[in-house]
Copies of this chain bind each other. A is one copy, B any other.
Amino acid sequence: MKRMSEHAVSPEKIKLLVTDVDGIWTTGRIEYDSEGHEIKSFSALDGLAVKLAGLGGLAVALLSARESDVVTLRARQLGIDQVIQGSSDKKADLDELMAHNDLEPGEVLFMGDDLTDLRAMRAAGIAVTVPNAAPDVRARADWITDNRGGEGAVREMVEWVLRDQGLWEQVLARFI
């Protein structure tokens, strides 16, 4: 399932992982009950992803077009401070995140799954997506995870970056 674009890219210099939410951290299912409550489904494996990223010196940010109390709750649980919801222009908000973190595009990875992510994906140094993404997004990604969104895709992406940066073994050693 994995592929590299024709210009092989490497996450070697990445310092910030900016991630869309629906379809990336969640399964992309939009669930409601008959009283209008929304239900979102995350992955337990992704729960450890933020901690692993931090042990390797990587920051994680959320950037979503929708607004959801469940996302606010989950971000707080995982210790993610940089959360932008209700974004109407992800490219502009990505630029702001880069400025805020004092980073250049080559130091930022963007992970998204739909057409509204395409401009941000092109602006970031590396664009990652998932098997369940829209076909035109998959065609423009530098790398595609094996796991679907909400089933460990974020965790897989974090491990991929840390392995490429030669940091995985020392992160793993903390658990052995």
**Which of A26, A29, A34, A74 gathers most chain B CB within 10 Å?**
A34
* Complex Cα spacing A150 to B27, Å: 11
B48, A30: Cβ atoms closer than 8 Å: no
Of all chain B residues, which has the CB nearest A30? B42
B44, A39: Cβ atoms closer than 8 Å: no
What residues of chain B lie closer than 8 Å to A172, measured between beta carbons?
115, 136
B134, A73: Cβ atoms closer than 8 Å: no
Interface string of A37-74 (1 = CB under 8 A from B): 11111111101100010000000000000001110011
The contact of A22 among B38, B40, B44, B152, by CB within 8 Å, is: B44
Q: In whole Å, how far is A110's beta carbon from the nearest beta carbon of chain B? A: 14
Q: In whole Å, how far is A105's beta carbon from the nearest beta carbon of chain B? A: 17
A29, B41: Cβ atoms closer than 8 Å: yes
What residues of chain B lie closer than 8 Å to A36, measured between beta carbons?
69, 73
A116 within 8 Å of B by Cβ? yes
Interface string of A113-124 (1 = CB under 8 A from B): 111101100100
